[in-house]
A = this chain, B = another copy of it.
Amino acid sequence: MQNHPIGLMDSGVGGLTVLREIQRLLPTEETVYLGDQGRLPYGPRSPQEVAQFTQQIEAFLERRHQIKLFVIACNTATAAALPALRQRVKIPVVGVIVPGARSAVQATRRHRIGVIATQGTVKSDQYRHQIQALAPGDTVVSLATPDFVKLVEHNDLTSPQAFAAVARGLAPFKHQDIDTLVMGCTHFPLLRAAIQAALGPDVTLVDPGTATAEMVTALLDYAGQANDTGVLHPATVTYTTGDPAQFDTLAQAWLTAPVLPAQPVSLATLEQATLEESSSWKKS
**At the interface, yes or no: A226 with Cβ under 8 Å from chain B?**
yes
Is A66 interfacial (CB-CB < 8 Å)?
no
Interface residues of A in 203-223 (CB under 8 A from B): 214-215, 217-219, 221-222
CB distance from A257 to the nearest CB of B (A): 15
Contact status B133-A25, CB under 8 Å: no
Cβ–Cβ contact A134 & B28, under 8 A: yes
Given A86-B283, A86-B284, A284-B86: A221 and B230 interface contact (C-beta under 8 Å): no
| Given A86-B283, A134-B226, also A99-B221 (CB < 8 A) | yes
Q: Is the CB of A135 within 8 A of B215?
A: no
**Contacts from A to B (Cβ < 8 Å):** 25, 28, 83, 86-87, 92, 94, 98-99, 102, 106, 133-137, 214-215, 217-219, 221-222, 224, 226, 228, 230, 283-284
Contact of A92 among B83, B134, B222, B224 (CB under 8 A): B222
Question: With a CB–CB cut-off of 8 A, which chain B residues contact A230?
Answer: 135-137
Q: Once bound together, how far apart are the Cα atoms of A230 and B215, in whole Å?
A: 22
B221 near A98 with CB under 8 A, answer yes
Q: How far is the CB of A94 from chain B (nearest CB, A)?
A: 7
Complex Cα gap A276–B230 (Å): 42
In the complex the two chains form, what is the Cα distance from A28 to B102 in whole Å?
Answer: 12
Q: Report A233 CB to chain B, min CB distance, Å.
A: 12
Instruction: Check A215 against B226 for contact (C-beta < 8 Å).
Output: no
* A193–chain B nearest beta-carbon distance, Å: 26
Known: A86-B283, A214-B214, A219-B219. 6 other contacts (CB 8 A): A25-B106, A102-B217, A102-B226, A214-B218, A218-B218, A219-B222
A235 CB to nearest B CB, Å: 19
Residue of B nearest to A99 (CB): B221
A220 nearest CB neighbor, chain B only: B102
Q: Which 4 A-B pairs have the closest CB atoms?
A: A218-B218, A136-B230, A215-B218, A133-B228
Q: Whole-angstrom distance between the alpha carbons of A215 and B219 in the complex?
A: 8
- Residues on the B chain within 8 Å of A98, using CB: 221-222, 224
Q: Smallest CB–CB gap between A110 and chain B, Å?
A: 15
Minimum CB–CB distance for A20 against chain B, Å? 15
A-B contact pairs, 23 of them (CB 8 A): A25-B106, A28-B135, A83-B284, A86-B283, A87-B283, A94-B222, A98-B222, A102-B217, A102-B221, A102-B226, A133-B226, A133-B228, A134-B226, A134-B228, A136-B230, A137-B230, A214-B218, A215-B218, A217-B218, A218-B218, A218-B219, A219-B219, A219-B222
